[in-house]
Structure formats: structure tokens, C-alpha cells
Amino acid sequence: MRVTVAQLRTVLLAQAIEQVDTERTLVSQTEIDEATHTAVGAARQRGVPRVGAGDVVLARAETIAQRASGRDPTVAALRQPSARLRWLAMGLPWVALLLGLALDRMANAHRVDLLSPPLLAVLGWNLVMYALLAWRALRRPHGHGPNAVLRTLAPWARPAHSGRAGRRGLTARIAADFHTRWLARMAAPLQHHAARVLHLCAAAWAAGIALSLLLRGLVVRYQFGWESTFLDAGQVHAIVSALFWPLTTVFGLAPFSLQEITATQNFAGEGAAGSRWVWMYVGLLALAVVLPRLALAAWAWAREAQWARQCHIDPDDPQDAAFDTLRRSLPGDLVIGLQGLKPAQTQVLQALAAEGTPQGDRLRFADPADTAATRQPVDAVLIWDDTAPAHPMPPAWTPAPQRALRWEDCGESWVQEPALFDQLAAALPHHQHVLARLRASAVARNEQRFDASLLALAQHLRACTALGTTDPAAQYAHHVQTLDATLRALHGNLPAPPENTAMPNRLPALRRTDNTALAAGTSAGAAAGAAAGAKAGALIDIGTGGLTLGAGTALGALLGGTTAWVVRAFQKKDAEQDVLRHAAEAACTRYLVIAHQARVRAQDADALARRWHAEVTGTVAAHGGELTAALKAPQAKQTTQAIQAAQAPADVLPPLLRTVLLGILQRSFAPAQSENMSQNRL
């Protein structure tokens, strides 16, 4: 992105402030975060679909630099070019001109020497400089870094406020870091600027010498000629002819003849003819020094202006470490393409990405069935090996990194979602900070949802302990209906059909069997409940438009079976403990089914239902005594005053249910060690 020199200065100053002020003395972290969020909000209001570092870098840097400048004059001075350097660049050519004027003679105040050492030195020095410039231009391009001239001028660029007393302070370290960044970024234009000033100084010096000759000639009568111990007139004539050849060739002037050279030996020439010699000197200085130096100064100025017009930064380039802090603090806006998923699984991931982070990070999953989404590039593509992709890979997605995953390793349960973010972080190493925040936010939301589910389960079980003697099955069905509605609302599923909610009320009366049959789930009542549950599961499939992929039928059988156990337990006399245990089994099963209703694939539903049946029965039996004790224990009344005073005793039932369900979840959805979960990129 193109920026002006002033904008680049502000960006580099903001970087120096963030890098040096680690304790956030000048600008607090809250103010920096606020600047970032404000810039992101402004970019989104402008209609930027995916906010990148380049969309916010200028506004964010301006806010940070403005806050720091209002609190320290040294930082405020850094926002503007150094006045001392500006005055130095303007004053040096005038100083060179005055020095040339002060040299009011070439060798003698009353002589014009054809072999003047100062004149030869000026011409020789400039010719050497021209040769060096030509060699340097042919050897390598300009702008590879600050040279010795820039390092010499660097101390002049420091603000006047940063004296010795403050060099060890925070602002002095910020100034040093800023100038390091500034010289590294501005090497080319500063080099052109320094070259322009030096060329102007050389031209001014030669012009000062020429003016000195002309002005001195107004009050002094020059003697002109030459003298030498070792050279004769012919040799001097050859030297003078070569010396003044550019002038005589360009302007067509008559060169000095051998007779004129011989006649002026030992400074014999004088009078009005001396003016010709003076003008020859002045013309030679103008042609060989002043005009070329002015041309070189104009070229340097043009290069400097061209760089200023093309000044650019690339905050989105991951190779530029200077913008790492900005990219880490910037809310991410990632789009991930999905290949090989069924609609229900795609909706699960889209529901996962529906909520961002408090920092403003957003994650979106693009469905290849969406024509508009396939025309836009994505950051990465997840290829699921469940089934053959229903849609070919969109051409716009091809350049993005690709990862191969299995749904049973990343998507069948919320406990597997961190593995999904780990796979995305491996595919997008430059966005790990964004994915880490999204991962932490997803984990926190799942924990909150799990805690709310545990609380709903605890309330349901406590309600079951208080069932009356009149039609307890109907009362229990009402509590189940309330629990189902709560769990479905927490997990974002569609509400169950009316027939499904009334299903427990229509279960047939079951004959009594012993506790062994109940625990094993082989009684006729359990079988009948399983059949009713299968019907309920089918209704779930139909009511949700097939989103469960047929898993509702298998899982519904398990749900209906556990409900049948509880209803049959109501028909037993003195079976309170059985009721509580089977109510816990039914509640845990309902949570597992509803929380994973749209996640479980059809081919995994039967095996998972059998596993959950064994897991729930065995785990509840293992914790039966603790559950019974927790349910029978009187629940303390937690008033507002007691909660504020942290004196209310904690309810032991939700933590116990957490232990039961987490154990089942971790055993049911253990991460598989497979080749598809390797870290190799496709």
C-alpha cells in the first residue's frame, strides 16, 4: 500500500513506541487495544469484507502516536522531520558559496595562473567524483542501505529534546529505535537527499570561486601567464589546450595559441587582454563543475521525489517482522473452505464459527455448494475423507493450503473441537495467534454450555426426587420435556416434534423385572422403550429435515430405552433408589443424544448408541452411591447475601455429573491415531 512520507513516519514511530515501551508507560495496552478495535470498526464500516493489517495500520498508528505525543515533547518532535537536519541541508550550499568567495585568489591576488594548483585541484577532484559515481552506478543500484554519509548525519536527526540527561530514559530509547527504523526504511531517499545537498555544495563552491575572480577583477589588475622550472612553452600549450578543450569545443572559442603561451611566460601578460583569461577560467568552472553538479543535484531530487511518490509498506507480508505486533493484535477474519462434508456436518461447523471472540476475530466456513463462496479465495481448505466430495474443488480455492481430516477425529463431539483448531493452526502458521484466540473462545463457550447443561441435569434430577405419588410417570414426562427443551436451546438444535415430547406418556405399562434385567437393559420394558425411542428418533430425523443423517433413529432407541427404565421403575414398590439411578441414566443419555444429535454420522450411530448404553449404565452404577447421597442431601438455600459473602455451600451434584459425563465423553471420543491426522500438508 502506498503511503506518504509523513504517514510512514507515523507508522514507524508507533512501532518504536510499542517495541520499546513494554511496560506501556506512555500508551497503555487498553488504549492500544482500543485504537485497534476503532480502526477495525472503521474499516468494516467502509465495507471492507476481510479486515487486514493494511486496512487499519494508518489509523491505528496515528492514534498511538497522537496519544504518546501529547504526553512527551520528545515523541511529539519525532512526528516531524528534524529541524536541525533541514537547516543543515539548506545552509551547507550557502556555506560552500561563501567559502568559494573567500578564496579571492587562485594562487596570487594579482595573478591569473594558467597552471593554478587550486584550479587543477578543483577540476581533478570533480573528475574523480564523476568517475566514482559512474563506477558506482554501473556496479550496483542505489538504495541498498545507509552509507557512511547517512550514519554521519544520523546524530543530527535526533530531536533537540534528547540531551545527555535523558539518553537513558524511555523517550531516548524510543527515539533511538525510531531512527534505526527510519534510516533502514528511508535509506534510498535519504541517500538521494544527501547526494543532492553535496552536489549543490560542490556547485556552490565552484560558483563562489568564479564569482571571486570576477569580483576581484573589478578592483585589481591581473597579471596572467605561467612559470615553470621543468616545463617549456610547448608542454604548457599542450596542457592548456587539453584543459580548456571542453570550453573551446562547446562554445567555439578560439584556443590559446603557442605564441600566446610563449608571450605570457613568467607572467608577462597584462592589461585588458587579461579579461579573456579570467572568463576562460570562469567558463571552465561553470562547464566542468557548476553545470554537471547542478544536473546531478536535479537527478537526485527527481529520484527522491519518485521514491516519495512510490513510498509503500506491506503490513500483510508475513516476512516483514516489523508488523508482527500489529498482526498479532489484529482481529483475524479467516475463511476456510470445506470439501467432502455433508450438509449437517457443514452446519455444525458453521454454528461453531457463528460466534467470534471478544477481540473481534471471525471464522467462517465456505460451503462448495454456495456459488458465491466458491468465487472468493479462502485461507485454507479442509478435505474430509468421509465421502467423495459432492462438488469439485473451486479454482479460487486451489492456491490455499490444504489439510486432510476425519470427521470422527474432529467433529463428532464438542470435546474434539480443539483438535480442529490445531489442524487449522498447522495449515496457517502465520495466523496462529488468531486461531489461538478462536480456540480459547470456543473452549470457553463449550465449558459454559457444559456447565449450563450440568445445572439443568442437576435441577431435573432433583425434580425427579420430589415426584408425587399421583401419576409419577406423567410428572416425570413433564420434567423430561423441560430438560429436553433446555438442552436443545443450549446446543442450538431445532425443537423436537410434539409427538416426540409426548412419547414417554404413551409408553405401555411394563411388567416388573429384577434389578439385574434393568441394569443390563435386556428386559421387555427396555426393549419396548427402545422401540418407542427409535420411533422418536425417526421423528427427530423428519422434524429436523434429515440433519441427523439417520443417527436419530439409533440414538433415539437408546434415549427411549432409558426412559422406559425409569417409567417401569415407577411401577415398582419401594424402588426409590432404582428411580433415582435410572433417572440419572436417562438424564445423562438425553444429554449425550441431544448434544450430539447433528454431529454423529449414520454409520457410527449404532455403535455409539451401544457404547453409550454400556458407558452410562456402568458409570452411573459406579457412582450410584455418590449420586444417591447427592440427590438426597438437602440443597442449601443460596440467598443473594450468602452468595456475595461466599458463604453458600456449593452443590455437589453438578461436579459429580461433570465427572460422570466427561469420563463418558473422553472415552467415547478419544483422538484416533491415524495417518489422516498427521501434520503433513497435502
Over the chain, what is the mean pLDDT?
75
As a whole number, mean pLDDT of residues 240-265 equals 76
Between 130 and 540, the higher pLDDT residue: 130
Cβ pair 345, 407 in contact under 8 A? yes
What's the pLDDT score for residue 257?
74
Residue 312, classed as helix, strand or coil, is: strand
How far, in Å, CA of 517 to CA of 333, rounded?
55
Residues 652 and 549 in one domain: yes
As a whole number, mean pLDDT of residues 143-151 equals 47
Cβ pair 330, 53 in contact under 8 A? yes
Q: Does residue 325 lie within any of the structural domains?
A: no
Amino acid at 489: A
- Please say which residue of 262, 277, 309 terminates a domain: 309
Residues 6+ away with beta carbon under 8 Å from 346:
338, 365, 367
What's the pLDDT score for residue 567?
59
The CA distances from residue 661 to 119, 207, 555, 654, 655, in Å, are: 98, 93, 17, 10, 10
pLDDT at 450 over 90: yes
Q: Does residue 66 lie within any of the structural domains?
A: no
What's the pLDDT score for residue 232?
78
Amino acid at 629: A
pLDDT digits (tens, 9 = 90+) for 342-363: 887 888 888 888 777 877 788 8
Beta bridge partners of 111: 223
Residues 338 and 282 in one domain: no
What's the pLDDT score for residue 200?
92
What's the pLDDT score for residue 434?
86
Q: Does residue 138 lie within any of the structural domains?
A: yes
Residue 265, classed as helix, strand or coil, is: strand
Between 48 and 223, the higher pLDDT residue: 48
Residues 377 and 491 in one domain: no
What's the pLDDT score for residue 494?
46
How far, in Å, CA of 581 to CA of 622, rounded?
11
Q: Does residue 32 lie within any of the structural domains?
A: no
Residues 137 and 212 in one domain: yes
Parent domain of 346: 330-443
What's the pLDDT score for residue 451?
94
How far, in Å, CA of 149 to CA of 505, rounded?
92
pLDDT digits (tens, 9 = 90+) for 650-681: 678 899 999 999 999 988 886 543 333 333 33
Residues 570 and 438 in one domain: no
C-alpha cell belonging to residue 677: 491426522
How far, in Å, CA of 654 to CA of 455, rounded?
6
Residues 289 and 356 in one domain: no
Residues 347 and 484 in one domain: no
C-alpha cell belonging to residue 646: 461466599
Place of cell 423441560: 482
Residues 492 and 589 in one domain: yes
Indicate which CATH number applies to the domain containing 360: 3.40.50
Q: By mean pLDDT, which of 4-8, 168-172, 217-221, 296-300 is the weakest?
A: 217-221
Residues 436 and 514 in one domain: no
What's the pLDDT score for residue 527?
45
Between 531 and 549, the higher pLDDT residue: 531
- Please say which residue of 380, 408, 443 terminates a domain: 443
pLDDT at 576 over 70: no
How far, in Å, CA of 223 to CA of 357, rounded?
89
The CA distances from residue 205 to 23, 211, 392, 466, 654, in Å, are: 51, 10, 74, 106, 90
pLDDT digits (tens, 9 = 90+) for 642-654: 434 444 446 788 9
pLDDT digits (tens, 9 = 90+) for 607-645: 888 888 888 888 888 888 888 888 877 655 544 444 344
Residues 98 and 157 in one domain: yes
Residues 596 and 555 in one domain: yes
Q: Does residue 615 lie within any of the structural domains?
A: yes
What's the pLDDT score for residue 581?
81
| Percentage, residues of the chain above pLDDT 70 | 73
Cβ pair 407, 341 in contact under 8 A? yes
Q: Does residue 36 lie within any of the structural domains?
A: no
pLDDT at 500 over 60: no
Residues 577 and 661 in one domain: yes
pLDDT digits (tens, 9 = 90+) for 23-75: 888 899 899 988 988 888 888 888 887 787 888 889 999 999 999 988 888 88
- Please say which residue of 408, 443, 478 terminates a domain: 443
Between 546 and 305, the higher pLDDT residue: 305
Q: By mean pLDDT, which of 104-108, 167-171, 320-324 is the weakest?
A: 104-108
Q: Does residue 549 lie within any of the structural domains?
A: yes
State pTM to two decimals.
Answer: 0.59
What are the DSSP calls for 100-128, one per residue? HHH---SS-TTEEETT-HHHHHHHHHHHH
Give the burial class of 256: count Cβ atoms within 10 A of its Cβ; 0-12 exposed, 13-18 middle, 19 or more buried: buried
Number of domains forming the structure of the chain: 3
As a whole number, mean pLDDT of residues 452-456 equals 93
How far, in Å, CA of 581 to CA of 578, rounded?
5
The alpha-helical segments, DSSP class H, found in 390-431 are 407-410, 417-427
Q: Does residue 71 lie within any of the structural domains?
A: no
Residue 514 pLDDT level (bands cut at 50, 70, 90): very low
